[in-house]
Amino acid sequence: MAKRNGGPVKYAIVGLGHIAQVAVLPAFDHARRNSRVAALVSDDATKRKSLGRKYRIDATFAYDDYETCLQQVDAVYIALPNSMHAEYTIRAANAGVHVLCEKPMAVTVEECESMIEACRQNNVKLMIAYRLHFEEINLKAVDLVRRGRIGEPKFFNSSFSMTVQPGDIRTKKELGGGTLYDIGIYCINASRYLFRAEPKEVMATSVNSGADTFAEIDESTGALLRFEGERVAAFVTSFNASDVASYRIVGTKGQLHVDPAYEYAEGLSYELTVNGKTTRKRIGKRDQFAPELLYFSDCILRNREPEPSGDEGLQDVRIVQALYESAETGKPIEIPPFERAKRPSGRQRITRPGVEKPELVNVQE
C-alpha cells in the first residue's frame, strides 16, 4: 500500500518517553525531504502541550483517542513500552496506517506473528526500528566481514551493560522489561547479520544480586548461541554495571573490534586487525533515527518492502524467549529454521549529522 495522499509521509509519534524526545522527534528536522511529524500520542497532558508547542504540532491525542489520530496520519512511530507494541501496531494496521515500531518488536512470538498478519491483511508496511542497520560504522563492519577481511568468521562476543535506575520501565516485567529485550537484542541481531546465519541452539544463565530494582527481571544474563556452520556467539548483558557496548568478531585471518558498537548518543568506531596490522576508523556522532524515517518513508511512497522487516523482528524475539527459557530450565533450547530475507543494497547507507540533546519533559534521564 502506497501513501494515500501526495507530499511527505505524515507520522504520529505514539509514546513520548525518553527515546521519542531525545532522538525521534529531533530526527524529523533531518528527514524533512519525505517525512513530517503530524501528531503526538500520550496520556501525559504536560508532554502533549509542551512538545506540541515546541515542534508546532496542533494534533495531540490521549491513548483513548488513538483511532481518531489514525484517521489523520499515514504512518506511526511506535515508541511505547514493549508490552504495548503489538496492540498499537495492530490497531494502526487495521486503520490502514503504516507502522515503524521500536525494537524489540514485541514480548512474545505470538504477538509478533499477529502484528505481521495484521499488516499483511491490511496491506500496510511494517518495519522494526533497528537503527544500526543504517549506521555507517556498522555497515562498514558488515562489509569487512562479508568481503573476507578476517577470513572465515568463527566466533562473536559482546558486552552490553548500563546502570538502570529504580522505577525505570525496563525493570517492569509486565511492560516487557529485562536485559535481553532491551539491550541483548542488539547483540543477537549483530551476531546474526555478521555471521549471515541463524542460531540452531541457545543457552543462557541469568543472575540477580537481590537488589529490589531487579526483583521482577534478570539483573544480568550470559548467553551462548550455536550457529549454522559450527560458529558460536557469546554475550553478557547487565542493568547493574558500568556502561559498555562493544563486540568483537574473530575469524581465521583476523578480528574486528567495534567499540562503542550500539550507542546513538556518541560516535562509533572499529579496529580491524589482520596479520598483526591494525587499522582504525572512527565516525563522530550521527543522527541514527533520521535515516530510518527517510528510508521507511521512501518504502511507503515507492511501495517497497522495508528491511528490517517484521520477520527480522520476530526472529530476534524468538531467540530472546528461548534464552529466557534456557535460563529458567537450565537446558539448551533448539531454534527452528529461519530463512533470512535478502537485504536491499545501497539504499540503507544514509547519513545525517548528530543532534543536540533537547530539554526533556517528564522523563527519567
Among all residues, which ones are annotated catalytic?
103, 186
What gap in Å lies between CA 10 and CA 106, rounded to an integer?
A: 24
Place of cell 530494582: 213
SS3 category, 221: strand
Angle at 46 between CA 40 and CA 52, to 5 degrees: 40
Answer whether 83's CB lies under 8 Å from 174's CB.
Answer: yes
- In sequence order, which residues have a C-beta less than 8 Å from that of residue 128 and are 6 or more positions away? 101, 102, 103, 105, 308, 309, 310, 312, 313
Place of cell 519525505: 34
SS3 category, 80: coil
CA distances from 131 to 9, 171, 295 (A): 19, 23, 11
φ, ψ of residue 295 in degrees (nearest 5): -65, -45
The DSSP H or E segment spanning 238 is strand 231-238
